[in-house]
Amino acid sequence: MNFPSITTVIGFMSLVGIAQVASAETVRYINGHWFIGEKFEKRDVAVLDGKIVAGRDAVKTVDLRGGYVIPGLAEAHNHNFQNCYLAPQMAQAYLKQGILYSAQLFATDPAGAECAPLFNSGSAPSTAFARIGITSSTGHPIGIARAGAKEAGMDMSFDQLVDGMLIADSVSDLQRKWPHFKTTKTDFVKVILIDEENGLANAKRPELDGFNGVTREVLEALVPLARTAGLRVVAHVDTAADFKLAVQAGVDTIAHLPGYRIAKNRTVKDYQLTEDVVKAAAANAVTVIPTMAASVYHATARPNDASAIAGLYMHNLRLLRKHKVKLLTGSDRFEGSVLDELNALAGTGLFQPVELLEMSTSATAKWMFPQRRVGCLEQGCEASFNVYENDPVKDLARLAKPVLVMKQGAIVARNGKLVKPE
Ligand SMILES: [Zn+2]
């Protein structure tokens, strides 16, 4: 729908006046249904200086005309802002859809720092970065970087390809390089585990060059180093054994669910989590980003595996839910977002829509920015929210089309169009 109703109370000029700039005057939002975790509640909410306040003395009133309000959506696993060239365009697409938080989970390219002004402005989602990324000299994502360089016709040396990454083939490599990396301003440390059980043999297979990860010893040495530096560790995992190793080593977050692909020399069983490991993950408060949307890459390339992949997700997600492991929503889809992940998770039929809403707003935003009052709509929370014409719980597809998007007290998009800064 068009959203002229808010202008009926405050007038168009007033609306323009609050666009992209957090109002220094209290604005009261009336007649909205506000998401309070399990349901919507009809209430009026006031915003001042980018925050939700008690707000008795509102200068302006905005009529939400019965609209539904949720905290901004959050994408927990992506890489599409890591490329400074594409980031502004991608950031705009996210804002239009009310995706107000994003985590970029291997942002080690030194050139990425050029984008800092974008992420410090109101023109991009609040973005958390893994600016420390650790892999082996034959590890992921070097293979992707190499393929990208080749496609672009660039002849890059190994050192150029891994510029900014922490390459550790041994504990001594890690210990030697860590002092240089540990002071990096980062939200997470990302570490790569891919079929660690066979890692040493895989490292010698030319076809896997660029697609392996670190050893158990490197991971086990890394976690205490990161903890001492006050940094959280996010692990990329591939097999069920990798997941188990990550839990045992004490990582904070696991950034994939085994089963998003089935490697050529592997079977379904190698990706099935077991109950004891999932219980340990719950006991250690490990958070998991299933990235179910990313499984489409493998399922499309090898359609014969599609049903096995779907079965693996059902098996693993059921166990995680049974033991109440905290799940976060991230797609790891270059051209996609949290909306793709919500679609994939909803398709399993395992989740209640309100559960997915809570996961993709509150839980994921709080994981990204534990020091901030985000992903909430109470007094004191950042005023970052989306308004929908109709109840999104009744149809999650509605989430893609907010009629109004507010970020830290400033309107950034309306009816799918960005609101230009003043
Ligand atoms: Zn990723």
Start and end residues for every CATH 2.30.40.10 domain found in the chain: 5-71+374-418
pLDDT given at position 113: 84
pLDDT given at position 24: 78
Predicted structure pTM score: 0.93
DSSP state letters, 289-324: ---GGGHHHHHHH-GGGHHHHHHHHHHHHHHHHHTT
pLDDT given at position 2: 38
DSSP state letters, 127-168: EEE--EEEE-TTBTTHHHHHHHHHHTT----HHHHTTT-EE-
Backbone angles phi, psi at 68, to 5 degrees: -110, 130
- Residue 247 structure tokens: 């839990």
- Report every protein residue that has its C-beta within 5 angstroms of ion ligand 1: 332
The alpha carbon of 294 and the centre of ligand 1 are apart by a number of angstroms equal to: 9
Count, residues in the chain = 422
Start and end residues for every CATH 3.20.20.140 domain found in the chain: 73-368
Mean pLDDT by 10 residues, the chain (422 residues): 37 37 83 94 95 85 96 97 92 97 96 90 94 98 95 95 97 98 96 97 97 98 98 98 98 97 94 98 98 94 95 98 98 94 98 97 98 97 98 97 97 94 60
Helix, strand or coil, per DSSP, at residue 64: coil
The alpha carbon of 105 and the centre of ligand 1 are apart by a number of angstroms equal to: 6
The alpha carbon of 37 and the centre of ligand 1 are apart by a number of angstroms equal to: 28
Strand bridging mode 188-192 / 232-236: parallel
The alpha carbon of 349 and the centre of ligand 1 are apart by a number of angstroms equal to: 25
pLDDT given at position 422: 55
The Cα angle at residue 36 between residues 28 and 358, in degrees rounded to 5: 125
Q: How far apart are CA 139 and CA 17, in angstroms?
A: 51
The alpha carbon of 104 and the centre of ligand 1 are apart by a number of angstroms equal to: 8
The alpha carbon of 289 and the centre of ligand 1 are apart by a number of angstroms equal to: 10
The alpha carbon of 307 and the centre of ligand 1 are apart by a number of angstroms equal to: 23
Helical (H) or strand (E) element with 343: helix 338-347
CATH number for region 73-368: 3.20.20.140
The alpha carbon of 334 and the centre of ligand 1 are apart by a number of angstroms equal to: 9
The superfamily (CATH) of domain 5-71+374-418 is Urease, subunit C, domain 1 (2.30.40.10)
Beta bridge partners of 167: 135
Give pLDDT tens digits for 250-309.
999 999 999 999 998 899 999 999 999 999 999 999 999 999 999 999 999 999 999 999
The alpha carbon of 78 and the centre of ligand 1 are apart by a number of angstroms equal to: 6
Question: Is residue 262 a contact partner of residue 305, using CB atoms and an 8 Å limit?
Answer: yes
